[in-house]
Chains A and B, each alone.
Chain A
Amino acid sequence: GAVVSQHPSRVICKSGTSVKIECRSLDFQATTMFWYRQFPKQSLMLMATSNEGSKATYEQGVEKDKFLINHASLTLSTLTVTSAHPEDSSFYICSARGPRDREETQYFGPGTRLLVL
């Protein structure tokens, strides 16, 4: 149990367009989800914490107007990269805080590769 999916797995877009990435918890309810960014050969950088029904909490240095996060239900959080530019190209990974008996554990999605041309 505790499966997290992401969609799309890969997206290519033109500079200036917006891209939406979905993160779903498939077999449990996730009150909290997290969005990470990972550059090649590097570790994961936490971008924001998404809580169902409330505004996301962004880490220092992350532009909230650039990376819009919506957590409208207990199984879905979305990350929208607005007016994307080539420097936004990266691997974006979401995770969900585990179900009640595994709350301290985060379960990760498979990631979304974004390429902005």
Chain B
Amino acid sequence: AQSVTQPDIHITVSEGASLELRCNYSYGATPYLFWYVQSPGQGLQLLLKYFSGDTLVQGIKGFEAEFKRSQSSFNLRKPSVHWSDAAEYFCAVGARYKLSFGAGTTVTVRA
């Protein structure tokens, strides 16, 4: 069975600073990997996904993620954070069309 670990429960970052959210997965085959963002009281919005090919994936809102098979990681990055990026971020691994989510990382942006 697949599983996802997001080691950081909460990250605080200054506006304009860079952001990196960690994600490690466990899955026997080549995974489908996703990052979703959730604003308070809202559903999940897809930021980006990796299925195969180029290991550096570009997403919406200026986010990117890098797949590293050797480290079983799929970390999310953004070079310069905006106040509107404050939200909950979920990493997920997909198998047979089902998703398994990490526990999530809460991002707080300070002025």
Main secondary structure of the interface of B (DSSP, over half): strand
In residues 74-117 of chain A, which contact B (Cβ within 8 Å)?
Answer: 91, 93, 95, 97, 103-111, 113
Nearest 8 pairs of A and B residues by beta carbon:
A108-B44, A110-B43, A108-B43, A43-B101, A111-B43, A43-B103, A104-B32, A44-B101
Is the beta-carbon distance between A103 and B43 smaller than 8 angstroms? no
Q: A43-B90, A46-B99 are in contact. Are A105 and B49 (CB under 8 A)?
A: yes
Q: Is A6 an interface residue (CB 8 A)?
A: yes
Is the beta-carbon distance between A97 and B97 smaller than 8 angstroms? yes
Contact of A104 among B41, B44, B51 (CB under 8 A): B51
Q: A104-B32, A104-B94 are in contact. List 14 more A-B contacts (CB 8 A).
A: A6-B43, A32-B97, A34-B99, A42-B104, A46-B99, A93-B43, A93-B44, A95-B44, A97-B97, A103-B97, A104-B49, A105-B46, A106-B99, A108-B43
Is the beta-carbon distance between A44 and B49 smaller than 8 angstroms? no
Q: Is A49 an interface residue (CB 8 A)?
A: yes
